[in-house]
Chains A and B, each alone.
Chain A
Amino acid sequence: MSDLDRAIEQLRACRLIPETQVRELCYKAREILIEEGNVVCVDAPITICGDIHGQFHDLMELFRVGGDVPDTNYLFMGDFVDRGFYSLESFLLLLCLKVRYPDRITLIRGNHESRQITTVYGFYDECIRKYGSANVWRYCCEVFDYLALGALVLGASSELEPSGPMLNDATMDLELETEVLNSRGEVTMNTHRQRPRSSSDVSTDSRNISPPRDISATPGQPPARSGAPGTGASGDGAGSFASRIGAVLCVHGGLSPLIDTVDKIRLIDRKQEVPHEGAMCDLLWSDPDDIDGWGLSPRGAGFLFGGDIVKQFNYKNDLSLIARAHQLVMEGYKEMFDGGIVTVWSAPNYCYRCGNVAAILELGEDASNGGTITRSNGDYGRSNGVLATDRLGVRSPGRRYRVFEAAAQDTRGMPAKKPVADYFL
């Protein structure tokens, strides 16, 4: 067992690793993160998670519900630290996993991954309390500076493979678009949409060809997919451009008036403290809102942006969805603007008192191209805005939300900060 695996084991048990090991870990993470673009490209299938905020036990619950690393690919959209009492354990565990499985887990930066914010909202104090000096905080902040600002999920499937049996054949013409599961894997809600008819209205048989994908399996729980024949598969005819799924952009906060294409994000020198204004700040601070255009943010940083902005941005960048975190939603997730943007929140019972549930978003892999997907760095097929003919073909990805509650009380002690060991005053 390598040192790293040992560290992972230890952190999973919510026990901290020694300072020297933290330092090594941070240096290793830096080497990995420096190779990542400002917008990391990742492939579906992937599970997208929102704010964690140091709620270690709930992070464990998240892994229980969503599957463990490296079996499930994860994308965490920032705000790992502050508020909760286990920011260190949570962030260091995620960082360990990143170093151990760099391709299986992606971490992007949230507005709390900042020196200024962490000195106010608890992470700094936690480091002092748990390590006796600010050194660990410094190492972590250095890593924060290297974190990517966003991610682009490619190759997501337009259709979900149902988790439960389909009720009747009437749904044959419909494909499953969204599905909401509780933490026991039971479907609590789903939505369907018309199957695209454009090119491959050939036969229902073709749908049996694609290999069954299993993105719904969670350890210790058999996948509940015992559906009737003909319902267990995905996608329509291969190569149909009508089913082209635009990429999914993931950022912590939202859009910026200074960023009109995803490529512009690439031109940011991200290795810095989160600035008080500018594109980088906006990506981490903005919020969608029911307004037209841009608005002042009540947070004092970033902007509010309306549905029209999201539509334009998605259209121009060939995106089918923007996934973001940054705002507490009591239901764990919230889609806005006709599904153009979704807020995912992964800290249940936020601050141990808000009473909200949390969610993670699973995007399935599009197997219709025989498993191959068009690779791009975000600029592929990005147009100048005139490519309007086949626009109808950009379909939103099938989205499976797994909603979960705070970790069961007996899996953890009472959450509390660590008391000081000795005192003179």
Chain B
Amino acid sequence: MAMEVQPPSDRKRVKVYELRDNDWFDRGTGFCTGQVVDDEPRIYVESEDEPNRVLLLTKISKDDGYQKQQETLIVWTETNGTDMALSFQEADGCAVIWNFVSHVQQQLLNLAAADDALSDDLETFQTIMLPAAELGNLPEIDHAMRAASLTQAGRDALSKCVIRDEYIPKLVPLVSVAEDLESLSDLHRLCNIMKSLILLNDNAIIETVVTDPIILGVVGALEYDPEFPTHKANHRQYLSDQSRYKEVVPIKDPVILCKIRYTWRLQYLKDVVLARILDDPTFSVLNSLIFYNQVEIVNHIQSNGLFLKELFSVFDPRSADAKRKEDAVQFLHQCASIAKNIQAPARANLFANFISHGLFAVIAFAIKHPNPALRTTGIDILVALLDHDPIMMRGYMLKAVNEKKTPLTDTLIDLLHTESDLGVKNQLADTVKVLLDPQIPLQETMARAGPETYTKLRPNILSDAFVQHHFDESAKRLFVPLKRLEKRTNFNDMKFQEVALYSHLVDILTFFVRQHLYRSRNVIHNEALAPRVAQLLKVPQKHLKLTALKFFRTLISLQDTFYQALMTHNNTFGLILDIVYETMPRDNLLNSACLELFEFIKRENIKPIVLHVVEKYGDKLRNITYVDTFQSLIMRYEQMQGYGAESTDSTLFSQDEGMSAQRMQANGQRWQGVKEMDAAEEEYFNTSDDDEEWQQDIQTNTIVTTSIQNGAASPVVKSLVDYPDDDDDEIMDTKAEPVGEEIQQPQDGIPAADTTADASQAPSTPVSQTAQTPPERLSEKRRREEEDDDELIKLTSVPKRRSSTSGGPGTAGLLRRKKGISIGPVSAADKVTAQGALGNVTTTAPPKRIAISIGSSNAKSSDTESTEPTTDQTSNEKENQGNNPDGRSG
């Protein structure tokens, strides 16, 4: 039994570590080689400095857990229990030694297996001969298969042998023989044999297994699982039931018919018969077989014009066969769900063909069907289309509007208002949300779809103004029920459906605002929706309260003056504080949500809101003492007052248009933000005259608030005027710079740091700021400082702010610049802190890093890696999260 593995010839530079007392002890640096001495494979490292000193000499054994980590690390445990690690200079070197180790282990395992099972005949590994398929030979067959399955070579040989000898068809008759004899032990053996065969994960074997004469015999054997000796499954009964296959329009191609049947069997094998025992490779073999079959089936259907014609003619209004129509909807639904798995171009073709044959009419038929289950199915098909290409769908919708037809959205909105089944209502709400999603501009389609599909699917390009118009109209229609709330004073008699509807509507509105605040602004303003949502803060249904609260929390997170003004002149905060009072001693979800909202205001130091809240509701705040959030809010306010006194004249500027305009020009810096806008936004700003209106709005608001406040006017006016935290941004800019890492950063949560942020010229300017800010920055900062009170400038800086709110991965660059703003519950500043904490670990010396990886490998490899049985998603859960479309999550 000679070692056949050729050791690598050249030497690899490496550091040798040994784990001592939970710390990695550096044994030294040297050159590593793999050797085979006296048929004994080993790893050998000699010292770099003293070539005669041996740093490591270890024998490679077949079962020690060698692990390769991070490209350059090999980690294992010595037979005496010591944990060892080799850290290679080059990934190549690591790979060479690793290959050597793996080969050696493979070989050792082969030898061991041979010793166990077939020591008398090593040659059989190349060409396995299985005993004749007879009942009497079953123990032997079972044994031989198990033995061969242990190594890859054995598996390959076995697969070849099974296919070549057509062994499976020979085994199948034994099942009924054993059943006739009632020989349970033989049946158990047959079951094991079938399992071994399938787990060889050989395409050809699995394809054979699902063919017609074979399948029943195979699953028949698998019904007798020795692990469940007292049970017998009834796979054969299920699989031989022909009635399970439904046919709306006969498929004439026998090959496709066959594929459909095989696919169904494969799925049954995967989900039911083999569900428990599937290993990852077999799982993926099954999946890929299913996938390729489905691609062919879908291709056949979409290219078969006659078939499609017949299929869609089922929905002819003159036809009275209701059952057939329902089945056809189900059929289309199944097509759509299968299409989800196949590649986008094939899917696009399928959907395009469906649509040209009248899919929308079918959807319309389904979603108005009296049976809720069918309505659900109809919406599911629609959702599949939306998931596939929302832009395409919107294109169709807008086209309908353009042609003065009733667009699908109107139908859906009306249904949403009247739908009584809460599940369907839920789905409708999600669909309307995606269809109207104001974020994706139509222009994007050009880039995404090829020119061919583009002309095919979107014959007309619609202007952005048109899109905006349609959005406004649809939104107006959508939010009618909310608007009707105005006249409602009593909320104690709301029906379940109403509550659900309001909750969906507010949820959709929140989504719109977050996705694209400009498009939604019109609607919110014209329809006066904010006060309506505020009304919902008073309903008895707590979850609805929570939804309304979430809306306002989103408004606050946008840090947009328009929305701030909306909130400050509507007694919204009074209502929110009422909720705090209602829930106060109790620690519940509603209470936490309120606290989080005020924490956010405090943390982000949103001045207009702080001023408004403390001045208007100071007493209320002071009485809430069980958390310190409100006291610190008051403290913020007091700090602000100290600062604000210096610039009381700021209010003057707000009334002085000419002055503002001048200042705006003077400050070129401000306009840089505009460049960051996406095209649609830019267009919005160029075309819309809304800006001016809106400004007037704010001034009206100002006046309203002032008159309410009656006296304490100045600070309130200031609250609308003074844009909060440009200075903070400045600091954040500094923070985001790489140099900043080592230096103690001022944290957002610390009042002292904030004070300095507010008045950066104060003597207590933190070290970091002076140390890192280049001189010109500082001067620039002063200049900004002087102009900070200018209202118009603040308004123009809005788009810049807005850019940070979209928060998608694409805006990372913007986010870096604008770290001070954050939409999530956790501020960017906190994140910086977290990363700072992390920095300690990630920048430590190599041995520490190994410590981490070993710790995690021992403790977790079993859990995070090897136990993830779903093959395609083995890596780690988080990664998959990313790949996952958000579409469904609603």
Contacts and interface: CB of A to CB of B under 8 A. Distances in A.
A300 B230 contact: no
Contact of B589 (A36, A328, A330): A36
B260 interface: yes
A415 B275 CA distance: 8
13 contacts: A34-B546, A37-B586, A119-B888, A120-B881, A135-B423, A146-B589, A266-B587, A269-B592, A291-B848, A294-B841, A327-B860, A415-B276, A416-B271
Given A35-B589, A120-B881, A138-B890, A289 B856 contact: yes
A420 B267 contact: yes
Contacts of A121: 870, 873, 877
B244 A413 contact: no
A421 interface: yes
B253 to A, nearest CB: 13
Given A138-B423, A268-B592, A413-B233, 8 more contacts: A23-B422, A134-B427, A290-B851, A293-B837, A296-B852, A298-B860, A415-B275, A425-B331
B877 A120 contact: yes
A1 interface: no
Contacts of A300: 876-879, 881
B852 A289 contact: yes
Interface string A361-381: 000000000000000011000
Contacts of A417: 271-272, 275
Interface string B574-602: 00000000000011111111011101000
Nearest to B597: A269
A29 B592 CA distance: 18
Given A296-B842, A299-B878, A425-B260, A419 B272 contact: yes
B275 A416 contact: yes
B376 A273 contact: no
B870 to A, nearest CB: 7
Interface string B555-588: 0000000000000000000000000000000111
Interface stretch (A173-181, A195-203, A223-231, A274-282): A274-282
Interface string B239-258: 00000111110000000000
A268 to B, nearest CB: 6
Contacts of A270: 589, 592
A26 to B, nearest CB: 10
Q: How large is the interface on B (under 10, 10 to 19, 20 to 34, 35 or more residues)?
A: 35 or more
A70 interface: no
Nearest to B826: A278
Contact of A31 (B331, B542, B550, B837): B542
A102 interface: no
B888 A115 contact: yes
Given A37-B588, A133-B373, A419-B272, A116 B881 contact: yes
Nearest to B866: A354
Q: Nearest 3 CB-CB pairs, A to B?
A: A300-B878, A37-B587, A278-B826
B13 interface: no
Contact of A120 (B244, B267, B627, B873): B873
B595 A266 contact: yes
A335 B863 CA distance: 16
A44 B113 CA distance: 54
Given A291-B851, A328-B867, A423-B264, A298 B856 contact: yes
B855 interface: yes
Contact of A423 (B246, B427, B870): B246
Contact of A33 (B271, B589, B841): B589
A419 B227 CA distance: 21
A275 B423 CA distance: 25
B825 interface: yes
A115 B879 CA distance: 14
Interface of A: 19, 23, 30-31, 33-39, 83, 85, 111, 115-117, 119-122, 124, 132-135, 138-139, 141, 146, 257-258, 263, 266-273, 275-280, 285, 287, 289-296, 298-301, 303-304, 327-330, 350-354, 377-378, 409-410, 413-425
Interface in B18-35: 22
Given A327-B863, A351-B869, A280 B276 contact: no
Contacts of A278: 824-826, 830-831
Interface string B523-556: 0000000000000000000110010001001000
A148 B272 CA distance: 35
Contact of B543 (A34, A415, A423): A34
Please report whether the interface of chain B is mostly helix, strand, loop or mixed according to DSSP. helix
B889 interface: yes
A418 B275 CA distance: 10
Interface string B321-334: 00000010011001
Contacts of B719: none
A39 B837 CA distance: 25
Contact of A416 (B273, B376, B842): B273
Interface string B584-626: 0011111111011101000000000000000000000000000
Contacts of A30: 543
A363 B424 CA distance: 45
A133 B423 contact: yes
B504 to A, nearest CB: 12
A270 B276 CA distance: 35
A124 B890 CA distance: 14
B864 interface: yes
Given A294-B841, A414-B228, A414-B231, A116 B550 contact: no
Nearest to B422: A23
Contacts of A275: 824-826
Contact of A266 (B229, B592, B886): B592
A117 B877 contact: yes
Residue of A134, A263, A267, A425 with most chain B CB atoms under a 10 A cut-off: A425
Contacts of B876: 298-300
B376 A135 contact: yes
Interface string B262-282: 011001100111011100000
A295 B248 contact: no
Given A37-B588, A119-B884, A425 B263 contact: yes
